[in-house]
Amino acid sequence: MVSKYHAVLRQTVEGEPEITDLDSSNGTYVNGNQVDRHVLGPRDAVMIGHSRLHLTDGRLVRADAGTGSFTARDLTVRVRQRGEAKTLLSQVSLDLPEKSLVGIVGPSGCGKSTLLRALTGYQPADEGEVLYDGLNLYTHFAELRQRVALVPQDDVLHPQLTLRRALSYGARLRFPRDTDAAAREERVKEVLEELGLSDRLDTRITALSGGQRKRVSVAMELLTKPALLLLDEPTSGLDPGLDRQVMQMLRGLADGGRRVAVVTHSVANLHLCDRLLVLAPGGRTAYFGPSHYALEFFGYDDWADVFQAFDLHPDRDWAARYRDSIHSHTYAAVMEESAARSTDAPDDGAQSKAPDAGDSKQRKKLKRARKRSKAGGGPRESSGAQSVRPPSWRSQFTTLMRRNFSVIAADRGHAGLLLALPLIMGVLSVTVPAQYGFMAATHTCVRSASCVPNYNVDAQPVLLVLAVGACLTGTANSVRELVQERVVYQRERAIGLSRSAYVLSKVMVLGLITAVQGFMVVAIGLAGRRLPVAGLVTTPSEIELILVVVLLSTTSMMLGLIISALVRTAEKTMPLLVLATVVQVMFSGAVFPLFNQTGLNQLSWLAPSRWAVAAQAATIDLSRIGPPTDDVHPHSADPLWAHTTQQWWLDSGVLEGLGLVGIVVVLVLLRRHEPLVMRRG
């Protein structure tokens, strides 16, 4: 995308043409390197948005209209499984012409999705290269990622939102920071009109059919006007009628000037494709050519027979058969011609060269200009993980927060559960009998055989129930939050979303909700109970108790986010939610004494509940008013429960520190779910 005021071309005092980036959102590139300011030579290629420009007669002239060539050469992907190397993709090449629809088919496990990941940088090939307009996608990912759109198999959508809201938030995260709301809204309407969804603008995505949802996923990608659109199994799970609708839509997008490649299991509408790439088991090319010649090439009348032949003849060298065919020779020549055209512009950060005319004076001037440019903000080295300048961090953060609140508010069932859970946990804590509240027992012990010490035996169970409520509500709020929108994060991260903005937006929104829930739990749980007049730090003591429970809730929320970042599927979160809550209960120090058990005590320091219960125990002086926790040494007490201001600050500080550490852990874990080309930087 191009900013309103993107860059300016002017002459230096020496008379050389110099381009200066005007703090644009997506940056200005010269020869694949992002620049702030750069003196241009006659062979320099300038990339602004989707357009490649060259200097001609002192002016920048468009060279490609934003639809440069796209070629993949000899892509090979290997992985290690059980200590052995396995080839998922073997020397696959293809070319995507302008205004073409290319289908990628083959039996299950033949490497179709692997190829798509290699073509988009999500899993770069171990060998071979992907060239977009002569630029290597892997080394120039930052420059090209807005030009290559990917529609994964799972919808990159929040189904609770309406089309208008979903696409509006998507536009905010994709468009340059200086794009006004009217321009974003206009682009949303344009895309929906192109895909035939204008009448569904205010319809919830959950109310759409499968085919319509897939069109919305495509619409999200078309917001930035990409020249290349790649789709992974867009017709999966659709009935034959919807299958045809989706393929006809893709045909229309290709006819409109885009390059479209689609991975599919469905063979009913392959005739709509211009070309087919058929992969054999082992990720080898069995055919690449016109769709109407494919069955004739294999010698069958039906695709089922072709796929069955792959199974019946696993030892046949399908790739060699294709290499010896006329189709291979024809399209090899086409790809070489396309590659030759695309290499007219320098690649891999090639530096601009002086004119060949032998003008030594001009060469010296250019050399001086380059030195000055390098010293004053010249080209920055391009790498696979270098980020373009998308909307500012603050803009992304506020947009993500708004979207998070919108998603929660739109799901009334979930919102109701968020309200009900703390109410239930608070009421349960009220059912725990506590005659003396959090005060010492009022009766005295007489010197007789029936003397009963004046211990408050009920205070500790109440603290435990409050801790359980805080742990459960906090963890439950977030345990599915990241995994359920992982596909959304992966796609938005690939186009420039800030990982820290994403995580902190979750922390702020969920943290606010969780803090309110924690307040509700402890406010209900303490209602009507006797409490110390003053705490160690605040007066009244209720403030200290509420603060600690709120901290425990939010820290447990971070534990839920860690679980959500770790697991691969949402189904695995529920058992881990139960396990995390049980572990926190056992390590709280309120079930059995931990301070006198070497090893187990140190391990319990990792549990937020340990420090929360300790801080509350310090506030009410539980070591004094409660019964002895060690029968062997009745006068010993948990040092973390000491009734001192310093100990309370230590307990609360460690509890808060665990929450901050949780943020760092989530940031690190989320990196595993980003495109591999970005992780390599």
What is the 3-state secondary structure of 64-122? CCCCCCEEEEEEEEEEEECCEEEEEEEEEEEEECCCEEEEEECCCCCCHHHHHHHHHCC
Site of tokens 């205010």: 202
Is pLDDT at 352 greater than 50 in this prediction? no
Are 190 and 171 in contact, with CB atoms under 8 Å apart? Answer: no
Neighbours of 657 (CB within 10 A): 13
Lowest mean pLDDT of 268-272, 335-339, 343-347, 542-546, name the range. Answer: 343-347
Tell me where in the chain the CATH 3.40.50.300 domain(s) lie: 70-147+230-342
- For the chain, the average pLDDT equals 84
**Measured distance CA(391)–CA(398) in Å, rounded:** 11
Is pLDDT at 230 greater than 60 in this prediction? yes
Is pLDDT at 28 greater than 90 in this prediction? no
Radius of gyration over every alpha carbon of the chain, rounded to an integer in angstroms: 32
What pLDDT shows up at residue 367? 45
**Which 3-state string (H, E, C) describes 428-479?**
HHHCCCCCCCCCCCCCCCCCCCCCCCCCCCCHHHHHHHHHHHHHHHHHHHHC
In this prediction, residue 41 has a pLDDT band, given cuts at 50, 70 and 90, of confident
User: What is the tally of helices (H) and strands (E) in the chain?
Assistant: 23, 18
Is pLDDT at 415 greater than 70 in this prediction? yes
Is pLDDT at 361 greater than 60 in this prediction? no
**Measured distance CA(158)–CA(166) in Å, rounded:** 7
Percent of the chain clearing pLDDT 70 (strictly above) = 84
What pLDDT shows up at residue 383? 33
- For 310-337, b/e burial (b = at least 16 CB within 10 A) is beeeeeeebbeebeebebbeebeeebee
Mean pLDDT value across residues 503-530: 94
What pLDDT shows up at residue 133? 82
What pLDDT shows up at residue 680? 65
| CATH number for the domain running over 1-66 | 2.60.200.20
What pLDDT shows up at residue 373? 38
Is the model more confident about 102 or about 676?
102
pLDDT, tens digit, for every residue of 133-154? Answer: 888 999 888 888 888 899 998 8
Mean pLDDT value across residues 586-613: 93
Tell me where in the chain the CATH 2.60.200.20 domain(s) lie: 1-66
**CB-based burial label for 288 (10 Å; 0-12, 13-18, 19+):** buried
**Measured distance CA(172)–CA(391) in Å, rounded:** 8
pLDDT, tens digit, for every residue of 14-24? Answer: 677 878 877 77
Distance of CA 107 to the CA centre of its chain: 29
pLDDT, tens digit, for every residue of 46-64? Answer: 777 656 676 776 677 666 5
- For 399-438, b/e burial (b = at least 16 CB within 10 A) is bbbbbbebbbebbeeeeeebeebbeebbebbbebebebbb
Is pLDDT at 643 greater than 90 in this prediction? yes
**Measured distance CA(538)–CA(652) in Å, rounded:** 13
Mean pLDDT value across residues 296-308: 92
Q: Are strands 148-151 and 284-290 parallel, antiparallel or unpaired?
A: unpaired
In this prediction, residue 384 has a pLDDT band, given cuts at 50, 70 and 90, of very low
Q: How would DSSP label each residue in 22-38?
A: -S-SS-EEETTEEESEE
**Which range among 259-268, 366-375, 604-613 has the greatest average pLDDT?**
604-613
**Which range among 77-86, 221-230, 376-385 has the greatest average pLDDT?**
221-230
**Measured distance CA(338)–CA(663) in Å, rounded:** 47
Distance of CA 656 to the CA centre of its chain: 26
Is pLDDT at 390 greater than 90 in this prediction? no
What pLDDT shows up at residue 332? 66
What pLDDT shows up at residue 408? 94
What pLDDT shows up at residue 21? 74
Is pLDDT at 180 greater than 90 in this prediction? no
What pLDDT shows up at residue 106? 92
Are 399 and 172 in contact, with CB atoms under 8 Å apart? Answer: yes
In this prediction, residue 679 has a pLDDT band, given cuts at 50, 70 and 90, of confident
In this prediction, residue 334 has a pLDDT band, given cuts at 50, 70 and 90, of low
**Measured distance CA(174)–CA(322) in Å, rounded:** 41
Mean pLDDT value across residues 226-237: 89
**Which range among 22-31, 83-92, 173-182, 448-457 has the greatest average pLDDT?**
83-92
What pLDDT shows up at residue 341? 55
Is pLDDT at 400 greater than 70 in this prediction? yes
What pLDDT shows up at residue 25? 61
Is the model more confident about 669 or about 194?
669
pLDDT, tens digit, for every residue of 421-476? Answer: 999 998 988 888 888 888 877 655 554 445 555 788 888 999 999 999 999 999 99
What pLDDT shows up at residue 351? 36
Is pLDDT at 350 greater than 50 in this prediction? no
What pLDDT shows up at residue 549? 95
Q: Which fold has domain 70-147+230-342?
A: Rossmann fold (3.40.50)
**Measured distance CA(642)–CA(595) in Å, rounded:** 12
Is pLDDT at 388 greater than 50 in this prediction? no
Is the bond into 540 cis (omega within 30 degrees of 0)?
A: yes
Count of positions (residues) in the chain: 681
What pLDDT shows up at residue 502? 97
Is pLDDT at 304 greater than 80 in this prediction? yes
What pLDDT shows up at residue 55? 73
